[in-house]
Amino acid sequence: MFGKKKKKLDSNSMKNGVYLVTVAAPKSVDTEQFNTIRTNITFSSVDESFKSIMITSSGASEGKSTVAANVAASFAKQGKKTLLVDSDLRRPTIASTFNIASTQGLTNFLTDKNFDINEVLYPTTVENLYVMPAGPVPPNPSELIGSKRMKMLKEALTEKLDLVIFDAPPVLSVTDAQLLSVSVDGTILVVRQGEAEKEAVKQSVDLLNHVNAKIIGTIMNDVDVTSTDGYYGYYGYYGKE
């Protein structure tokens, strides 16, 4: 857009994966924050517990992949059979985060009718945590994410596992997150302090509401420690919009 500086995209997590603080430092304050987020997600479902959740944000590099991987690990450690799916087909991170050498993933399943899901469900060093990398980047990511086959996959995965967490692209840059939000039980919006603009967050909420997505809450990430009385970088807050 005119008058706006385009920020350079941070590609560190695509190359090196995200930091799994819940695995590297299980007793840390940051891990405790992710466990609190897990508890809040659990308690925000009234009738039936959420079987599928999507993590998104308004813009890039707000911490979606970091939050998705750590929240997934937190649920797995609690004993829930959890799957983390890399549905950010343009900026995938999961293969790097979990050191998966194979290049196969979600897109192989979505483009090949005879592909067996089990071939792209990888176990991790965390007990009960499985991951599905994105696979080769296709020319038509949005089409694949919005496909009937993607819906079918979601159904099959939620039958097999206790919880499926989708790491999605940002709401404002492509339509994928909106498309995916329709078929999951709940959507969480990550908002990075100092990065996210109020208008952008509002616009994302409007876009998600427009397709009747169920927004279960927001997570403030990278909160300035000097502005709170805490001493942690992750701050989970859940509430109605």
Using CB under 6 A as the criterion, which residues of the chain lie in contact with ligand ATP when the complex forms? Answer: 10, 12-13, 18-19, 57, 60-66, 88, 91, 93, 170, 221-222, 233-234
By beta-carbon proximity to ligand ATP, the closer residue of 29 and 156 is: 29
Min separation Cβ 14 and Mg ion, Å: 8
The piece of 1-9, 32-40, 60-68, 219-227 that touches Mg ion (CB under 5 A) is 60-68
Sheet holding 52-57, edge to edge: 122-123, 129-132, 82-86, 163-167, 52-57, 186-192, 215-221, 234-237
By beta-carbon proximity to ligand ATP, the closer residue of 19 and 238 is: 19
Min separation Cβ 222 and ligand ATP, Å: 4
**CA atoms of 92 and 70, how far apart (whole Å):** 16
By beta-carbon proximity to ligand ATP, the closer residue of 77 and 91 is: 91
192 touches Mg ion by CB under 5 A: no
64 touches Mg ion by CB under 5 A: yes
Decide: 12 and 18 in contact? Cβ < 8 Å: no
What is the identity of the amino acid at 71? V
The first and second tokens of residue 230, run together, are 């805490």
The piece of 59-67, 96-104, 170-178, 179-187 that touches Mg ion (CB under 5 A) is 59-67
Question: If DSSP codes are grouped into helix, strand and coil, which group holds residue 62?
Answer: coil
Decide: 191 and 57 in contact? Cβ < 8 Å: yes
107 touches Mg ion by CB under 5 A: no
CB contact burial 126-148 (16+ within 10 A = b; e otherwise) = bebbbbbbbbeebeebbebbbee
Among positions 31, 56, 65, 74, the unique one binding Mg ion when judged by CB under 5 A: 65
Name the site residues for Mg ion (rule: CB under 5 A). Answer: 64-65
